[in-house]
Chains A and B, each alone.
Chain A
Amino acid sequence: AQSVSQHNHHVILSEAASLELGCNYSYGGTVNLFWYVQYPGQHLQLLLKYFSGDPLVKGIKGFEAEFIKSKFSFNLRKPSVQWSDTAEYFCAVKSIPGTASKLTFGTGTRLQVTL
């Protein structure tokens, strides 16, 4: 069965520090990749996604992620975090072919940004 690993469970950074959150998946075929963010008290919302093409994708709020097929990774990055980036971040993978839009989620990384 497909699995998604997010090795960083809780990350604490100071404002303006750089961020990289790891995401690795187990499926060896074609995948669609997603990062979702859940701000405190808010909906889970899409941060960015990769379907095909340029492996470096840019999302909202200055986030980007790089798909490295050889490493089965899709790490999330931001050059300079803000206090408002405090949230929980989830990586998700859809295998192609697969059942509709069935996603497999990682366990999430809680990011805490201090002033």
Chain B
Amino acid sequence: DGGITQSPKYLFRKEGQNVTLSCEQNLNHDAMYWYRQDPGQGLRLIYYSQIVNDFQKGDIAEGYSVSREKKESFPLTVTSAQKNPTAFYLCASSSRRAGETQYFGPGTRLLVL
């Protein structure tokens, strides 16, 4: 069953703690993306990666980091430098074969304790 999986569904972070959100895809897509969704603000791009071992900052990259060591995986770390991390985080992937349309995972809701 092909698709994008994100884990965990809910994540709690303590002040000063780094947390990592997982995103895995088995669609054989080259490009992967991380978005943050806040009420009334739509989706904002955090980081994206067009190919393994390469990634670029999106519009709101401060306080976040990523890696792309494997085509299937694009984990996002929310660092302690991100002062307002409470949000819904969405991962997506795309490929030229699929017409560059982005397909989304189910999301991870991050809450700060």
Contacts and interface: CB of A to CB of B under 8 A. Distances in A.
Interface residues of B, number: 24
Specify the main secondary structure of chain B where it touches its partner. strand
A interface, how many residues as a size bin? 20 to 34
B40 A101 contact: no
Nearest to A44: B104
Contacts of B43: 44, 90, 92, 105
A82 B102 CA distance: 26
B63 interface: no
A106 B100 contact: no
B48 A102 contact: yes
24 contacts: A4-B42, A6-B42, A9-B40, A42-B106, A43-B104, A43-B106, A44-B43, A44-B90, A44-B107, A49-B99, A51-B99, A90-B42, A90-B43, A94-B100, A100-B31, A100-B48, A101-B101, A102-B58, A103-B45, A103-B102, A105-B35, A107-B42, A108-B40, A108-B42
Interface of A: 4, 6, 9, 32, 34, 36, 42-46, 49, 51, 90, 92, 94, 99-103, 105-108
